[in-house]
């Protein structure tokens, strides 16, 4: 199994506040890896290290270790940040389409990359929307505002937007936290469809969601990686007592 992301002894801090302690794990390609753990355990922070979106927050920095994506250290000084983020797409917890048309939302990442040929854009937008299982619902109103869509549709639009650039890796930070169960189900179906093409990493608070749609699960607690393994094993016979307590619901 090919490794998509190698995390070696990563420690991370916001200013003086240390949030990740010596995390080591290898995330395999073309699989769904889920992060579970109580709020504030650092799972979102770790996810946001993979496309360095944390750079925007002042004081946020890696204090030790390295993150390598397909063997390139992404914290090198000469990394092309824009290209990195094109290769590592991201979907956020609260669906956040731009206040633009559905079409422009999906085309955004292509436009900022300098692709502006209308015919190409049309094709890519259609593909992305089809892959996000949204095409049939919006094909007649591509040029109306994205805010006219329902929450679930908006989140799928965000997924379409994130995959328009054909990334290698798709990061999902609690993608269903703001959605109702039916919309959640749709996103989960979408995830199992998308993992054929992309390496997917998902942060979730919903443990049944982790069991339903992930191949591997990592349990984090207080900024440390407690246990990482196949999802079945984590949920059915975890090695660590903390993991067991968490997945059985006796704490956290």
Partner 1 sequence: MFNPETLIRKGLPKGHFKDVAARSFLGGITYLVVAIAVLLFVKIIIDGAPVLFKPEAPFVDLDFLTSKNETLHVFDDAQGNRHQLPAAAYSQYISQHGSATLFNEQTYSYSGGGIAGPIAGTALLTIGSMILALFFGVSAAIYLSEYAKQSPFIHAIRLAILNLAGIPSIVFGLFGFSVFVLAVPVITSTPSDRSLLTIPLLIGNYFLSFQGWNSSLMAGCATLACMILPVIITASEESLRAVPQGFRDASLAMGATRWQTIRKCVLPFSLPGILTSSLLAITRVAGETAPIMFTAAVAAKDDLPWQGLKSPFDILSSQVQALPYHIYTLAARIPSSEFTQRAQYGSVFVFLLLVAFLSLGSMILRAKLRSKLKW
Q: Which residues bind partner 1 (CB under 8 A)?
A: 51, 53, 56, 58, 82-83, 85-86, 89-90, 92, 94, 96-99, 108-109, 111-113, 147, 158, 161-162, 165
Nearest-approach distance from CB 34 to partner 1, in angstroms: 20
Among 205, 193, 245, CA closest to 35: 205
Nearest-approach distance from CB 214 to partner 1, in angstroms: 21
- Find the helix or strand (DSSP H, E) in which 74 lies: none
- Find the helix or strand (DSSP H, E) in which 132 lies: none
Nearest-approach distance from CB 161 to partner 1, in angstroms: 7
SS3 (DSSP) at 101? strand
DSSP character at residue 95: -
- Closer by beta carbon to partner 1, 85 or else 195: 85
Nearest-approach distance from CB 58 to partner 1, in angstroms: 5
Q: What are the b/e assignments for 15-52, b being 16+ CB within 10 Å? A: eeeebbbebebbbeeebbbbbbbeeebbbbbbbbbbbb
- Per the DSSP assignment, residues forming a β-bridge with 8 are 66
CA distance readout (Å), 154 to 22, 24, 128, 173: 36, 34, 14, 15
- Closer by beta carbon to partner 1, 128 or else 216: 128
- Per the DSSP assignment, residues forming a β-bridge with 171 are 90, 201
- Find the helix or strand (DSSP H, E) in which 68 lies: strand 60-69
- Closer by beta carbon to partner 1, 86 or else 195: 86
Nearest-approach distance from CB 194 to partner 1, in angstroms: 17
- Closer by beta carbon to partner 1, 39 or else 58: 58
- Closer by beta carbon to partner 1, 1 or else 99: 99
Nearest-approach distance from CB 141 to partner 1, in angstroms: 18
- Closer by beta carbon to partner 1, 56 or else 117: 56
């Amino acid at each position: 199994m090919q490794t998509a992301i190698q995390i070696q002894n990563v420690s991370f801090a916001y200013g003086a506040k240390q949030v990740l302690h010596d995390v080591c794990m290898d995330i395999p390609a073309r699989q769904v890896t889920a992060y579970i753990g109580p709020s504030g355990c650092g799972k979102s922070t770790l996810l946001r290290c993979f496309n360095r979106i944390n750079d925007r927050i002042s004081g946020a920095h890696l204090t030790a270790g390295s993150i390598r994506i397909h063997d390139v250290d992404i914290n090198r000084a000469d990394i092309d940040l824009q290209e990195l983020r094109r290769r590592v797409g991201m979907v956020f917890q609260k669906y956040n389409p731009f206040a633009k048309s559905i079409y422009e939302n999906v085309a955004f990442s292509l436009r900022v990359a300098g692709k502006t040929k209308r015919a190409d854009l049309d094709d890519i937008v259609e593909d992305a929307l089809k892959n996000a299982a949204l095409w049939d619902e919006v094909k007649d109103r591509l040029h109306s505002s994205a805010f006219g869509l329902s929450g679930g549709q908006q989140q799928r639009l965000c997924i379409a937007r994130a995959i328009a650039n054909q990334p290698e890796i798709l990061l999902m930070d609690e993608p269903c936290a703001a959605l109702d169960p039916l919309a959640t189900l749709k996103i989960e179906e979408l995830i199992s469809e998308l993992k054929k093409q992309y390496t997917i990493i998902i942060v979730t608070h919903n443990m049944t969601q982790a069991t339903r749609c992930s191949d591997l699960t990592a349990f984090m607690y207080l900024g440390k990686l407690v246990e990482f393994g196949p999802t079945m094993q984590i949920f059915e016979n975890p090695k660590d007592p903390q993991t067991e307590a968490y997945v059985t619901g006796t704490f956290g």
